[in-house]
Structure 1
Amino acid sequence: MVKKQSPLRIIPLGGLDGIGKNMTAFEYQDDMVLVDAGLMFPDDEQPGVDLILPDYTYVLENEEKLRGIIITHGHEDHTGALPYLLMDLGRKVPVYSSKLTLGIIEGKLAEHKINSPKFREVKNGSHLNLGAFSIDFFSMTHSIPAALGVYMRTPAGSVLHTGDFKLDQTPIDGVTPNYQAINRFATQGIDLLLSDSTNATRPGFTPSESAVGPQLRHIIKNAPGRVIVASFSSHIHRLQQVCDASVAVGRKVVVTGRSMVTNTKIARELGYLKISDNDIVDAYDIGDIPDDKIVVLCTGSQGEPMSALARMANGDHKSLTITADDTVIISATPVPGNEKSVQSIINALSKIGCQIFDKSNTLVHVSGHGSQEELKLMLAMTKPRYFMPVHGEAVHLRAHAKLAESMGMKPSHIFVADNGDTLEMRGGKVSWGKPVDSGVVYVDGLSVTDANPVVFRDRQKLASDGIVTCVVTVQLRSKRVGDVEVACRGVSFADDDQLLSEAQASVKDKIAAGVKQDGANLDQLRKTARNSLSNFLWNKTHTRPMVIPVVMEV
C-alpha cells in the first residue's frame, strides 16, 4: 500500500474579508510558518472597539510547530496583531523581516511593554531554512520601503507570496521589484501564487510614487503661509518627498503626531528617511520662524478624531493651530469605512477657510497597490499552476480571479477562499482541505475578547435611543410598593417632568398589581417594570430606549 504524501496546508486566518488583518499560516507535518500578523480598524458597526485582530487560535493550538513569523512589510495591516500574538505565545518565536520593518515592530512592542523577541533581519536575496520550509526573499515596491515578497519550497510543492506590491519602475529609493528573482522562481516552478488583490477592480497601471513629488513641491513652493501635510506615518517614500520639496524651497519641517514622530525617528536612524537635523524643527520651537518657511508633517489622513490634524483643525493642539492663511494637503486615500471621518475633517478645515488639496483635485496621492495590468504582469511572470487571490474584500478577490481566467488559467485552478478555508498541496497539486475555526478578536480598551453581537447591539441601541432606568422598592410580605424613581440619559424627553412623573405612576401601578399576585418574586417584578415602562414610553414618544429596571426588597 502506497503511503499518502503529507500535504502542505495553506491556511488564511485573515485578510480575505477586507483590507486588513492579514495573516496566513503554512503548515507541513510538524513545521509551521506564519506570514504577516496584521490588524484592522473598526467601523460604525463596532462602536467602542479600538482594534480588530484575526482569530489566531489555530496558531496557539499548534505553537510547538511554529518555526518563525515572517512580516512582509511595516504597515499596521501586516504588523498590528504581532504584539498580541507574541504575548499569547508560550515561547519566543523568531520574527523575520527587513531592517525598517523590524524597527517599526520594535517601537510597537515598546508601547506594549513587550521585550523584543528573536529578531532576524532579512533582505532582498536572503535565504533561510525553517524546518521543512526553504524560503527566499525578494524586494517589491509598495508605499513603504523594504517591502518583501516570499518564495517558499517544501516537499509538497512551492508557493510564491507577493506581499503588498505595485510594479513601480521609478521608486523613490531606487529599489525596484526584483524581476530577475521572480523569473528565476518561475523557472524553478511556482505551484501556487498568492497575490495582492487590493486594486484588482482598477484598470490600467498605478502611477509611480515619483509622480507625486512635483505636485507636492509646486504646492509647498507657492503656498502663502504654512503647509500642513497629513499622511500615513509609515508612508516613508511620501514623507521623503515632502522633506525633499520643503528643503528645496527653503522651508523647515515640523513633525507632529505620536506615530509620525516615532516612525520618522526610526526611519532616519536606519537611513530610510534622509533629512538633516538642521531642517527638522520641534513643534514647540517654531515661534521665530515665518509661516511661509514651515511645513508640518502630521497624522490624521484618515480623519482620526484624536490625530494631530483633527486637533489642529479643532484648536485643541498644544502648539499648532490651523488658520485661513494655511494650506492643508491630505496625501492619502480614505481606507474603506473612513470616508465620513475624512469628510468631517475637510468640512472643519473648510470652515476655517484654509486651502485644501487632496486626491480629488490634485495628484497628491497615488496608491501603493498594483492595478489590473500590473496584476496581469505578475501572473504572466510567475506562470503559477494554481492561484489564490489574497488581500482584499470579496469584490477584489473575485475581480483578481477573473483576471487570471482572462489570461487562460483554468477556473478549477483558481481558489477564491475565505478566512479559515484551507488549501492542501500534494506533489504540486492544490485542492480544498478541511477548514479551521476562524473569526475576529476585538481589542476593547485593555481587554481582548471574541466577537459578541449582543454587546454591539446594546451599544448601537444606547447610541441611537438612549437609556432609561427605574428603581423600585417593594415589601413582598406586606405586598407594599415604595417610591419609584425614573432617570434617563441620551433621550429627547429627559427634561419633561410631567412625562417622567406619569411614567413613574404607570410603573408603580403595574408593580402594585404584580406584587399582590401569589408567588410574586423579584425577577417577575423586574420584567413587569421593564415591560410597563417600555410600553409607556413607546405609546407616548414612539421611541424605544434601553430600559434597565432595578427592583429591591426592603
Structure 2
Amino acid sequence: MAKKQTPLRIIPLGGLDGIGKNMTAFEYGNDMVLVDAGLMFPDDEQPGIDLVLPDYSYVLENEKKLRGIIITHGHEDHTGALPYLLMDLGRKVPIYSSKLTLGMIEAKLQEFKLNSPKFREVKNGTHINLGVFSIDFFSMTHSIPAALGVYMRTPAGSVLHTGDFKLDQTPIDGVTPNYQAICRYGTLGIDLLMSDSTNATRPGFTQSEAAVGPQLRHIIKNATGRVFVASFSSHIHRLQQVCDAATAVGRKVVVTGRSMVNNTKIARELGYLKISQEDIIDAYDVKDIPDDKIVVLCTGSQGEPLSALGRMAAGEHKSFTITSDDTVIISATPVPGNEKSVQSIINSLSKIGCTVYDRSNTLVHVSGHASQEELKLMLAMTKPRNFMPVHGEAVHLRAHAKLGLKMGIKPDHIFIADNGDTLEMRNGKVSWGDPVESGVVYVDGLSITDADPIVFRDRQKLASDGIVTCVVTFAPRSKKVGDVEIACRGVSFSSDEQLISEAQDVVREHVSVTAGKDGTSVDMLRKNARNSLSNFLWSKTHTRPMVIPVVMEV
C-alpha cells in the first residue's frame, strides 16, 4: 500500500473575521512557519478590554516544529501579538522581516522588557530555507515602507502570500511592487494565492499615496496659525509628506504622542524618514517660534481619548492648547468601530472654532489597500490554481472570491475560510482539512483571558443599567431578619429616599417569609432577596440594574 503523501497544512489563526489580528501557520510534517502575529482593537461590545489577540495555542502546542516567524510589515495588526507570543514560547525563535519592521518590533519588545529575540533582516530578493520551506521575499507597496510579500515552496506545492498591499506606481520612497518577481512566481506555478481583501468591495483603483502631498502642502501653506496633523504613527510615507510640505513652506515640525515620537525616531535612524535635525524640534521649544511656522505631528486619528489630539481637543495636553486660529488635519480613515470617537473629536474641535480637514472634505488620506482592479491584476499576474481570500471581514472575503470567479478560477478552487479552518495541499491540489482550536484571547489590563461572554454581559449591564447592592442581616437561631441596607451606583433613583425605603420593606418582608420556613439555606435567602428587589425595581422604575444580594448571619 502506497504511503499517503504528507500534506502542507495552511492554518489561519486570525485575520478572517475582521480587520486585524492577522496570523497564519504553515505546517509540513515536523516543520512550521508562522506568517504575521497581529492584534485587533476592541469594539463597543468588549467593554474594559484593551487588546484582542488571536488564539495561538496551536502554535504553542507545536512549538518544537516552529522554524521561524515571518512579519510582512510593521503595522500593529501584523506585529502586535508578538510580545505575548514570545513570552509564551519556551525557546527563542528567529523573526524574519525588513529593517524598519524589526526596528519597530524591537521598540515594542523593550516596552515589555523582553530580551531581543533572534532578528533576521530580509528584503526584496532575499531567499531563506526554514526546514522544508523554501521562501522568497518580494517588495510590495502599502501605507508603511518596507512591506513584503512571501512566496514559499514545499514538497506539497507552492503558496504566494501578498501581505497587505496596493499597486502604487508612484510610491513616496520610489520602491514599487516587484512585478517581475510576482510574474516569475506565476510562471513557476502558484498552487495557492492568499491575497489581501480589505478593499475588495471598493471598485476601481486605490489612489497613489503621492496624491495626498499637494493637498497637504496647500493646506499647510495657507494656514494662518499652527497646523496639527493627526495620523497613524506607523504611516511613515504620510509623515514624510507632512515633513516635506512643512519644510517647503518654512515651517518647523514638532512631534508629540508616545508612539509618534518612537516611530519617527526609529524611521529617521534607519533612513526611512528624511528630515534634517534643524527642521524637527522638541515640543518644549515651540514657545520661541511663531504659530505660523509650526506643524505638529500627533497621534489621535482614531479618536482615542488619551491620544495627543484627544487631549488637545479636551484642553488637557501639557504642551499644546488648540485655538480658533489653528488648523487640524485628520489624515486617516476611521477603523470600523471608531467612527463615533472620531466624530466626537471633530465636534470638540469645531466648538473651539479651528479649521478641520478630514477625508470627508479634502483629499488628506488615501487607503493603503488594493481596490478591485488591483486585486484582479494580482490574480492575473499570479495565475493561481487555488485562491484563498484573507485579511478582512466576511463581506470582504466573499467580494474577493467573486473577483476570483470573474478571473476564471473554478468555484471549487476558491476557499473562503474562517479562523481555525485548515486547508491541506498535496501535489498542488488543495482541499479542506480538520479544523484546529481557534478563537480570540483578550488582554484585560495586565491579565490575558479567554473569551467569557458572561463577563462582557455583566459589564454591559453595569454600563447600561447600573448596580444595586442589598445587604440583609439574618439570625439563624431565631430565624429573624434584621437590617436591610441598599446601596446604588449608576442608577437614576439613587437619591429617591422613599423608593429605597419601600425597597427595603419589600426585601425584608419577602426574606422574612422564606426565613421562617424549615430547611431554609443562605443561598435561598440570597436568591429571594435578589428576585424580590429586582421585581420591585422593575415595577417602579422599569429598569433592571444588576442586583447583588449579600446575606450576613449574625
Can you list the C-alpha shifts for 1:402-453, whole angstroms capped at 9, x where unaligned? 0010111100110011100000000010011111110000000000000000
Q: Answer whether contact 1:476 1:520 (CA < 8 A) is retained.
A: no
**Within the alignment, does 1:377 sit opposite 2:398 as a pair?**
no
Partner letter of residue 244 of structure 2?
D
**Within the alignment, does 1:263 sit opposite 2:263 as a pair?**
yes
- Classify the secondary structure of the residue corresponding to 1:318: coil
Give the structure 1 partner of residue 464 of structure 2.
464
Can you list the C-alpha shifts for 1:306-359, whole angstroms capped at 9, x where unaligned? 000000000010110111100000000000111011011111111111000011
**Within the alignment, does 1:420 sit opposite 2:424 as a pair?**
no
Give the structure 1 partner of residue 8 of structure 2.
8
Give the structure 2 partner of residue 509 of structure 1.
509
Give the structure 2 partner of residue 58 of structure 1.
58
CA distance in 2 between counterparts of 1:2 and 1:487 reads: 74
CA distance in 1 between counterparts of 2:53 and 2:286 reads: 40
Give the structure 1 partner of residue 92 of structure 2.
92
CA distance in 1 between counterparts of 2:398 and 2:223 reads: 44
Written as runs of structure 1 = structure 2, the 5 A alignment for 1:74-93 is: 74-93=74-93
**Within the alignment, does 1:284 sit opposite 2:281 as a pair?**
no
Q: Answer whether contact 1:24 1:34 (CA < 8 A) is retained.
A: yes
Give the structure 1 partner of residue 305 of structure 2.
305
Give the structure 1 partner of residue 324 of structure 2.
324
CA distance in 1 between counterparts of 2:521 and 2:126 reads: 72
Written as runs of structure 1 = structure 2, the 5 A alignment for 1:363-374 is: 363-374=363-374
Shift of 1:515: 1.1
- Classify the secondary structure of the residue corresponding to 1:229: strand
Give the structure 2 partner of residue 191 of structure 1.
191
Can you list the C-alpha shifts for 1:74-100, whole angstroms capped at 9, x where unaligned? 000000000000000010000000000
Partner letter of residue 270 of structure 2?
L
CA distance in 1 between counterparts of 2:6 and 2:277 reads: 56
- Classify the secondary structure of the residue corresponding to 2:288: coil
Partner letter of residue 242 of structure 1?
V
Partner letter of residue 481 of structure 1?
V
- Classify the secondary structure of the residue corresponding to 2:228: strand
CA distance in 1 between counterparts of 2:396 and 2:465 reads: 36
Unaligned runs of 5+ in 2: none
Can you list the C-alpha shifts for 1:46-97, whole angstroms capped at 9, x where unaligned? 0000000000000000000000000000000000000000000010000000
Shift of 1:281: 1.1
Give the structure 2 partner of residue 408 of structure 1.
408
Give the structure 2 partner of residue 118 of structure 1.
118
Written as runs of structure 1 = structure 2, the 5 A alignment for 1:134-145 is: 134-145=134-145
Q: Answer whether contact 1:194 1:389 (CA < 8 A) is retained.
A: yes
Shift of 1:131: 0.1
Give the structure 2 partner of residue 153 of structure 1.
153
Can you list the C-alpha shifts for 1:179-207, whole angstroms capped at 9, x where unaligned? 11111111111110000000101010000
Give the structure 1 partner of residue 179 of structure 2.
179
Shift of 1:107: 0.6
- Classify the secondary structure of the residue corresponding to 1:185: helix
- Classify the secondary structure of the residue corresponding to 1:296: strand
CA distance in 2 between counterparts of 1:259 and 1:135 reads: 32
Q: Answer whether contact 1:11 1:25 (CA < 8 A) is retained.
A: yes
Q: Answer whether contact 1:255 1:282 (CA < 8 A) is retained.
A: yes
Give the structure 2 partner of residue 489 of structure 1.
489
Shift of 1:510: 1.1
Give the structure 2 partner of residue 42 of structure 1.
42
CA distance in 2 between counterparts of 1:61 and 1:394 reads: 28
CA distance in 2 between counterparts of 1:20 and 1:410 reads: 28
Partner letter of residue 13 of structure 1?
L
- Name the TM-score, length of structure 2 as normaliser: 1.00
- Classify the secondary structure of the residue corresponding to 1:438: coil
Written as runs of structure 1 = structure 2, the 5 A alignment for 1:389-400 is: 389-400=389-400
Aligned length: 554
Partner letter of residue 143 of structure 2?
S
Give the structure 2 partner of residue 107 of structure 1.
107
Partner letter of residue 396 of structure 2?
H
CA distance in 1 between counterparts of 2:220 and 2:211 reads: 15
CA distance in 1 between counterparts of 2:113 and 2:484 reads: 49
CA distance in 1 between counterparts of 2:378 and 2:528 reads: 66
Give the structure 2 partner of residue 224 of structure 1.
224
Partner letter of residue 545 of structure 1?
P
Give the structure 1 partner of residue 431 of structure 2.
431
> Larger deviation: 128-137 or 475-484?
475-484
Shift of 1:519: 1.0
CA distance in 2 between counterparts of 1:73 and 1:321 reads: 35
**Within the alignment, does 1:479 sit opposite 2:479 as a pair?**
yes
> Larger deviation: 142-151 or 508-517?
508-517
Give the structure 2 partner of residue 164 of structure 1.
164
- Classify the secondary structure of the residue corresponding to 2:259: helix
Can you list the C-alpha shifts for 1:121-141, whole angstroms capped at 9, x where unaligned? 000000000000000000000
Can you list the C-alpha shifts for 1:225-248, whole angstroms capped at 9, x where unaligned? 000000000000000000000000
- Classify the secondary structure of the residue corresponding to 2:84: helix
Give the structure 1 partner of residue 523 of structure 2.
523
Shift of 1:288: 1.4
CA distance in 1 between counterparts of 2:538 and 2:303 reads: 37
- Name the TM-score, length of structure 1 as normaliser: 1.00
- Classify the secondary structure of the residue corresponding to 1:53: strand
Shift of 1:3: 1.0
**Within the alignment, does 1:67 sit opposite 2:72 as a pair?**
no
Shift of 1:259: 0.4
- Classify the secondary structure of the residue corresponding to 1:105: helix
CA distance in 2 between counterparts of 1:247 and 1:525 reads: 73
Give the structure 1 partner of residue 542 of structure 2.
542
Give the structure 2 partner of residue 213 of structure 1.
213
- Classify the secondary structure of the residue corresponding to 1:286: helix
CA distance in 2 between counterparts of 1:239 and 1:159 reads: 34
Shift of 1:382: 0.4
Shift of 1:173: 0.2
Shift of 1:505: 1.0
CA distance in 2 between counterparts of 1:56 and 1:154 reads: 23
Can you list the C-alpha shifts for 1:130-159, whole angstroms capped at 9, x where unaligned? 000000000000000000000000000000
Partner letter of residue 352 of structure 1?
I
